[in-house]
Structure 1
Amino acid sequence: MVLAVVFGGGAAHGAYQAGVWSVLGPRLVPAFVIGSSIGAINAAATVHMAPQQLAHWWQSLTSLKTRGPIFARRNFVPLLEQMLRSPKRDQRAVLAVTTRLPDLRAHVTRIDGLSVADAREWLLASSAMPGIFTPIDRHGTSFVDGGVVNDLPVDIARDIGADFVVAISGTGIGRIGSDHGDVYLKPSQPLPRLFNFRPAAIAEMMALGKKDAEMTLRHMTFSLPRS
């Protein structure tokens, strides 16, 4: 069985996903992970960090000077590069979804075999929310946030070959399809605003993610597969 984990978009709501992953991560061995926007960044992080390390990484993001999303992003890039340079914990495939311009088509890039610089640019493209961040140019083509066309790319994971999908929402503002995966985790309570990286907000979202994941496990009538 081919197991995939899908991470949705949602900016600071990625902290919720980190909370979910702290519970589910030790129980899963996916063949690949895929994400849109902040979900692509979290997907990449699962290869370089243990589940609890990802939670600590999100806590470190609260130190960013948040004078608006553009300023915060500028300070975020070094942390992203540091994560990508850290040793890999496993060799699972990591896929980032972007939106190609001008035709607004979903574009999927496997980034786990790329250089740090190339992987960084694809992750920045996947999270380049229109109207806030400028498009990212890759080889003469412009790309923006993958959530524009597919904020929870479960269907793409199926097309690639996943038999079983665990989908973790970030409640982003992009479009999602009707397929929410075989196990679908989304916030059981409203989350703070998309760009609220304040320590209290990050802690709140991670705690809710952990709680929701534990609740999901308790109510399962089957065991999670391991690829």
Structure 2
Amino acid sequence: MTELRRKGGKIGLALGSGAARGVAHIGVLKVLEREGIHVDMVAGTSMGSLVGALYAMGKDAGELEEMAVYWGSKRFLLLADPALPRTGLVRGRKIEDMLKTTIGDIEFSDLVVPFACVAADIETGDEVVIKQGLVRRGVRASSSVPVILKAVKWGGRYLVDGALTNPVPVNVLKEMGADFIIAVNTTPGVQERLREAEARGKEMKAKEPNILNIVMQMIHIIGYRGLKSSLAGADVVIEPRVTYIGWGDFHRAHECILEGKLAAQASLPEIRRKLA
């Protein structure tokens, strides 16, 4: 299919946080590729930074799907290397090894598609946009879930998950020069989750959450405050229905990818209308 671009402008794709739910980004990419919608630049936060980095390296959505399914099996559990809880329950060395295997030593300046990822300074609370140096280190910083993973030392700062400051980095794409921005949000608010549960005919049963769910929900609550204003800057917002997927359910990659495809497909008329 002929590539679809905005006349006289560049298309940017903002991929948000969401842990396992962020695998839905791959489904969105599959639809954009199929429809010939050319992405000129990408910005990502947390899980969105990993998917975005791999895409910016030149990997297509099919390759990303294979990787997600591979790591989504029990192999993902093998990435946990427990640490004495000084700065994080998990050292992150095995995750760093995985990132080195999948991303390598490529730098931001060498990427096929311009890319940036977002982390948070744990001391000041500042948003930190990373677009220089080793890509894998930037992704590691952007994905460092507080308490769970050790913070990443970056210069004189200690960086953690960017979802705390900017869950869907639309503003970063504007700074990079994007003229048309498609944002993908996989962490909708409480009301959306309640409506979805009702629509699916499932009861909202109270159960004791594990530590990952507690921490991720805390990050979601903090980040949600600025989410609405962030998404307001996007031309199109795609929201896959993945609230029934647990934060750590990486083994449900196929379901997440399907939801991403369905949401992107539903947004195609709006995308095409606004790009025309």
TM range (shorter): 0.7 to 0.9
CA distance in 2, matches of 1:23, 1:224: 16
Whether the 8 Å contact between 1:80 and 1:120 is mirrored in structure 2 is yes
| Equivalent in the alignment of 2:177 | 161
Unpaired runs of 5+ residues, structure 2, are 1-8, 83-89, 188-215
CA distance in 2, matches of 1:25, 1:74: 34
TM-score (norm 1): 0.84
Structure 2 residue aligned with 1:25, among 24, 30, 33? 33
Kindly name which structure, 1 or 2, has the bigger radius of gyration based on alpha carbons.
2
Q: Which amino acid aligns with 2:70?
A: S
User: CA distance change for structure 1 residues 11 and 120 in 2, over 3 Å: closer, same or farther?
Assistant: same
| Equivalent in the alignment of 1:140 | 156
| C-alpha displacement of 1:105 | 0.6
| Equivalent in the alignment of 2:195 | none
**1:165 match: secondary structure:** strand
Q: Which amino acid aligns with 2:118?
A: V
Aligned length: 218
Alignment RMSD: 2.7
TM-score (norm 2): 0.70
| C-alpha displacement of 1:50 | 0.9
1:1-227 aligned within 5 A = 1-26=9-34, 27-48=36-57, 49-63=59-73, 64-66=75-77, 75-85=94-104, 91-111=112-132, 114=133, 118-171=134-187, 173=220, 174-175=223-224, 176-180=227-231, 181-188=234-241, 190-198=243-251, 201-218=252-269, 220=271, 222=273, 224=275
Unpaired runs of 5+ residues, structure 1, are none
**1:57 match: secondary structure:** helix
Q: Percent identity?
A: 23
Q: Which amino acid aligns with 2:250?
A: F
Greater RCO, 1 or 2 (C-alpha within 8 Å, sep 6+): 1
CA distance in 1, matches of 2:261, 2:93: 29
